[in-house]
Structure 1
């Protein structure tokens, strides 16, 4: 809710959201150590060899590796760091080939921006690869590189590989540990969710919603880690089969949570405690008896939780043969994942959304390069660098990033000013870099502005080693950054109407439509297909996560977009309650309740699809086009009530916030 103004000086709510640091996990100390070594060692070696500019180039490559070093699983680290380094080398080579070529440089960078934008929409690794392709093309086209044309890409790749080698040092000793830790973390978050199911006050209700969102994100991450590892694993892997069985075994507990919540009967405190014991067994690989002390359940829902918990404990410690067989079959079906991933990447890269984003990025880069070709701007490559960072499609709101980029740059420039004015160039750069480098992995999880503030003094220090401009770098960098933010806001944001609208309604509609498919599957002929049910349920998890992500992103936009997005909140809650009611109904049927008839299932699915259609159109949401009544006492009665409640909520103002 907007905050009241005090003396007219209280900042607007959207600005407060942008400035507020994100809730960050504990500091990743290994990543901090890798950043310190990777950015400092090349600099020291360059100084020792009498070629500090070579060390600065290698440290720039290491900086790209540090930015890419975000994965937990070792195989993901290999991809996350190595693949972007390849594109980084291509970028610096292309840029250096068109350095000082005037309008040829403008055309070349505009073309690279188009390709970079289309690549960036494929996925996380492709996004960083596209970023570094354009980023280093701009650097190569704006800075004279020392030595032959091949030396700069070689040095920068070497710096990035230094990060990769450090990241993979423990792989032989800790192979599989990140995946196991991720599954264990999912169990712990499920324990928190079950502990929050007895919430009755507003504060504890918020705790339940927060815990459910955390479970959704953790499940998505764990499945992604395991299935991605399977896609690169030849043959059967007992460890992967066991991990997937353990992860599948937690799903009944997740599904039981909303049933407990809706029943109003609190769970004994021993239940969440027992789930945490199971999590510890997953984390340590323990396979002996757990000796769980669980009270005798007194209700159908309590029995469902008890059965789900005991089954999970059996799978984790003893490896239930049926669960392992189902997981083995599931992993077997993921064998052609590379083919599907390649096809999906191709479809995404050639989609209309990819072309639109590529054109936006190319337009902004083209304008920036044309502008600095016509106007004398010292070291003008910083303008295009700013645009490259601000216009990333998966980094959140363009407006928010432009704002945080400007603020973060100002803070970084203040730090850089003190360093460049007080610290002489030479060996003193080594301890300074040793202090600055660890701040990047520390501040990056807290938000883009904090990351910018940490990276800016590092880049300015390395640039000064290459150009020897001292404090003369500072004002031009500030002007260039503000110019880049302005171009991104005008040509990449204001000129594109799609930027003005939150897509919350579209995400909600997808979740409701997928809920309809889930209802038809679990209460219809597909109810006996556990694999299909699990896949549809995981899709619902991803839908709910996408809704929250899009909603939070939209709230950081200035009025009227942020205000319209806030109006969706009642419907966000309503759709989450619809999903809860659906899973609760399935739990009740599994515990012996009368299943709904085929006619009732078809009717409820129709109601859900009509609701999804209304969410997409946003102007007919409150109209009831089908009969919302049904047999009294049916397991789907609560679901029908939630659908009816959602349809009574007035759509957001102006009707265009969903598009």
Structure 2
């Protein structure tokens, strides 16, 4: 277990315990347990800068309260409840995945809506339930934001440190079997750090400017290392150590490259653009939405037709399997972990329900369960599922006695149905969706390289040039995700072409940085760049329509080998 998860785990546990303590103190433990649904707020935004985190957590808290309210309102008609929970799940997948909200993601909102159906039996009006959840969210907001007292810029420092470590590990891995994976991790960490330093920053100060300078220098080191690898020289000795020391802020970033603070920093695309991109045909987010849109109502309907009284929990289990958009092996593993973990967790839950703790004891038990979940969930999800099940059942029934055997049988059955439906839908639907994912990802990278070429012949420092470079970087990160998800089958012939396209993309990114930072001069003439860009766009169009790939001639010298490898792989 990583020590860095302790602060998040303690905050999540405290956020769960406080509403129960307050509810017990006023003589209404049931209301306190309902309010703990708002404690899910504390599980978001752990890596965000504090000002941005405050906005995100407030939004999450309102969304959770709204989901519970909608679930409670729809509970009067069983099929309406299934429809509402399913719609909330699909919408949450769209918003959370498109905007990279981060873990625990869309599942929590589907779970909150499903819980709203369950807690409707409390006799409270839907708006009253929503207010209780909003109160729990307010408690979680205060606790999660309390970390600012330790250091307002601590999340930014952590992000820069992670980026520096990733760049150093890439440099150390050059020439080894770990090189490609390490390069992807470095690119992802640098992109994440830049988002934290630019996109998620409503204000700026000298400390932030220093961290931006450090991250800029790390980008330059990363690009220089890739350029050195491309020509066969390899990174200079001491590059990895320099990356680590810059990330630790013990070396002036200007010794590598001075950042132009007058230049308007470029963050990620706008929220509207990201949401529209997620809905485009071929988008992976759209694929995940389709899977959830099929699995959620199917799981609920199956539970109803089999006479199980908690159809909404089957929906939640199906959404859990699918919402992250993982590949086949991870989806199957997640399904197995959830199923086995739930059944084992029912034994622990039976003991807690038999004891029927109240007051402080109930708060302590829930806090311990939540703490354990947060410490285990990243590395040992199957084991964490044991405690997730126990916590969920304790929250749902902690205020009153229940028939333990009947409850556990129902919970085990709806989890089995939800997991089975989720896995089945993935296996059937993804067979058609994933067949073209790698081809489309290669086409997107080739298109992005083509969009970048005219800027390489002109000025790579303009806003348009940096936007093209950013989009190319994102396209190659998506390509690596598609490569990791591909398995033997229809994708297999495309893997060599995908690897070649990835290499071409990183070579182009490195050339942009070299021209921008080192003022090396345009590596290609304007007319040649425009002609070559047109050929790349034609190649991308041919890939998307599954037509014969046209010849790509006239590649600049610095990328000729990579273009040759790509076209040769496509011919094979």
TM-score by length of 2: 0.85
Q: 1:38 aligns with which of 15, 39, 47?
A: 15
Q: What is aligned with 1:550?
A: 482
TM-score by length of 1: 0.74
Residues 350 and 408, structure 2, Cα contact 8 Å, conserved in 1: no
The alignment partner of 1:325 has SS state of coil
Matches of 2:271 and 2:434, distance apart in 1: 32
Residues 259 and 583, structure 1, Cα contact 8 Å, conserved in 2: no
Q: Name whichever of 578-587 and 163-172 sits farther off.
A: 578-587
Matches of 1:349 and 1:82, distance apart in 2: 24
Residues 216 and 542, structure 1, Cα contact 8 Å, conserved in 2: no
Matches of 1:566 and 1:70, distance apart in 2: 38
- Counterpart mapping for 1:190-209 below 5 A: 190-197=167-174, 199=175, 204=176, 206-209=177-180
Q: Compared with structure 1, are the counterparts of its residues 465 and 210 closer, same or farther at alpha carbon in structure 2 (3 Å cutoff)?
A: same
1:209 CA drift (Å): 1.8
1:130 CA drift (Å): 5.6
Q: 1:222 aligns with which of 187, 193, 210?
A: 193
Matches of 1:342 and 1:612, distance apart in 2: 26
Q: Compared with structure 1, are the counterparts of its residues 72 and 583 closer, same or farther at alpha carbon in structure 2 (3 Å cutoff)?
A: closer
Matches of 1:471 and 1:178, distance apart in 2: 46
Q: 1:601 aligns with which of 510, 526, 529?
A: 529
Matches of 1:80 and 1:96, distance apart in 2: 24
Q: Name whichever of 215-224 and 159-168 sits farther off.
A: 159-168
Deviations 1:184-213 (A, max 9, x none): 43233323333444x2xxxx1x23223211
Q: Compared with structure 1, are the counterparts of its residues 154 and 605 closer, same or farther at alpha carbon in structure 2 (3 Å cutoff)?
A: same
Matches of 2:230 and 2:440, distance apart in 1: 27
Q: What is aligned with 1:82?
A: 58
**Residue 187, structure 1, aligned to residue 113, structure 2:** no
Q: What is aligned with 2:142?
A: 165
Residues 287 and 433, structure 2, Cα contact 8 Å, conserved in 1: no
Q: What is aligned with 1:414?
A: 344
The alignment partner of 2:187 has SS state of helix
Matches of 2:404 and 2:25, distance apart in 1: 22
Q: What is aligned with 2:225?
A: 257
Matches of 1:194 and 1:29, distance apart in 2: 30
1:480 CA drift (Å): 0.7
Q: 1:646 aligns with which of 555, 566, 569?
A: 566
Q: Compared with structure 1, are the counterparts of its residues 115 and 430 closer, same or farther at alpha carbon in structure 2 (3 Å cutoff)?
A: closer
1:377 CA drift (Å): 1.1
1:375 CA drift (Å): 4.1
Matches of 2:242 and 2:329, distance apart in 1: 46
Q: Compared with structure 1, are the counterparts of its residues 259 and 160 closer, same or farther at alpha carbon in structure 2 (3 Å cutoff)?
A: same
Q: Compared with structure 1, are the counterparts of its residues 128 and 26 closer, same or farther at alpha carbon in structure 2 (3 Å cutoff)?
A: closer
Q: 1:310 aligns with which of 245, 255, 265?
A: 255
Q: What is aligned with 1:455?
A: 388
1:374 CA drift (Å): 4.4
Matches of 1:580 and 1:496, distance apart in 2: 29
- Counterpart mapping for 1:51-450 below 5 A: 51-62=28-39, 64-109=40-85, 112=88, 115-116=91-92, 118-120=94-96, 122-125=98-101, 131-149=107-125, 150-197=127-174, 199=175, 204=176, 206-230=177-201, 232-233=202-203, 237-281=205-249, 310-312=255-257, 315=258, 323-326=260-263, 329-330=264-265, 341-344=270-273, 347=276, 361-392=292-323, 394-397=324-327, 400-401=330-331, 404-421=334-351, 424-427=355-358, 428-446=361-379, 449=382
Q: What is aligned with 1:573?
A: 499
Matches of 1:373 and 1:544, distance apart in 2: 44
Matches of 1:69 and 1:262, distance apart in 2: 38
How many aligned residue pairs are there?
563
1:464 CA drift (Å): 3.3
Q: Compared with structure 1, are the counterparts of its residues 463 and 639 closer, same or farther at alpha carbon in structure 2 (3 Å cutoff)?
A: same
Q: What is aligned with 1:6?
A: none
1:618 CA drift (Å): 5.1
Residues 116 and 130, structure 1, Cα contact 8 Å, conserved in 2: yes
The alignment partner of 2:215 has SS state of helix
Q: What is aligned with 1:509?
A: 443
Q: Compared with structure 1, are the counterparts of its residues 127 and 502 closer, same or farther at alpha carbon in structure 2 (3 Å cutoff)?
A: farther
1:603 CA drift (Å): 4.6
Matches of 1:270 and 1:177, distance apart in 2: 27
**Residue 28, structure 1, aligned to residue 28, structure 2:** no
Matches of 2:277 and 2:387, distance apart in 1: 33
Q: What is aligned with 2:472?
A: 540
Matches of 1:185 and 1:469, distance apart in 2: 49
Deviations 1:279-298 (A, max 9, x none): 222xxxx6xx86xxxxxxxx
Deviations 1:65-84 (A, max 9, x none): 24435434223432443212
Point out where structure 2 has 5 or more consecutive residues left out of the alignment. Answer: none
1:270 CA drift (Å): 3.1
Q: What is aligned with 2:453?
A: 519
Residues 611 and 647, structure 1, Cα contact 8 Å, conserved in 2: no
- The two structures, once aligned, show a CA RMSD in angstroms of 3.7
The alignment partner of 1:446 has SS state of coil
Q: Compared with structure 1, are the counterparts of its residues 573 and 447 closer, same or farther at alpha carbon in structure 2 (3 Å cutoff)?
A: farther
**Residue 469, structure 1, aligned to residue 403, structure 2:** yes
- Counterpart mapping for 1:4-19 below 5 A: none
Matches of 2:394 and 2:280, distance apart in 1: 40
1:650 CA drift (Å): 5.0
Matches of 2:232 and 2:329, distance apart in 1: 43
Matches of 2:234 and 2:171, distance apart in 1: 9
Matches of 2:521 and 2:30, distance apart in 1: 74
Matches of 1:275 and 1:365, distance apart in 2: 46
